Amino acid sequence: MIRPNDRIYVLPPDFGVVYIDGEIIRPGVYNLPATGPLTLSRLVAAAGGLGPIAIPERVDLTRMIGDAREATVRFNLAAIRKRTEPDIFLRPNDHIIIGTNWIAQPLAVIRNGFRATYGFGFLLDRNFGNDVFGAPPTNIGN
């Protein structure tokens, strides 16, 4: 019997979770939505997108098959985004790992080094160029 001032709590149904890890901006556990299916590309977007050294062609999905087996399949997220491959619907307890390779980190360091050098060179030329190299020549009146 419900009486005045009684509180009734209704827990939302558990639709399951998926896990995303690796070279992603916000790795973690994500709830499957109650309103419809969640796809791989939508999960990557919800997790903030790929990290700076992620390789979109190396997305591994591990899914339980029955009670005692699991299968891992590699997907090409770049092809999914270009719509040349179908997007994948996720199921409860799927585990997605966004991969990289051994050369991605050194290339990122080199790329960022060039960016830093270019930015410093630009600042040096624009702001301190006269102090370092002297005033630019003028041809006024000659």
Domain ranges of the chain: 17-98, 104-133
Angle at 117 between CA 116 and CA 118, to 5 degrees: 95
The CA–CA distances, whole Å, from 61 to 47, 113, 131, 136 equal 15, 34, 57, 60
Task: Please give the chain's pLDDT, 142 residues, in tens.
Answer: 788 888 888 876 668 899 999 999 999 999 998 888 899 999 999 999 998 888 999 999 999 998 889 999 999 999 999 999 999 999 999 999 998 888 877 777 777 766 655 555 454 444 555 555 555 556 655 5
- Considering the four listed CATH numbers 3.60.10.10, 3.10.560.10, 3.10.580.10, 3.40.50.1820, the one that applies to the domain covering 17-98 is 3.10.560.10
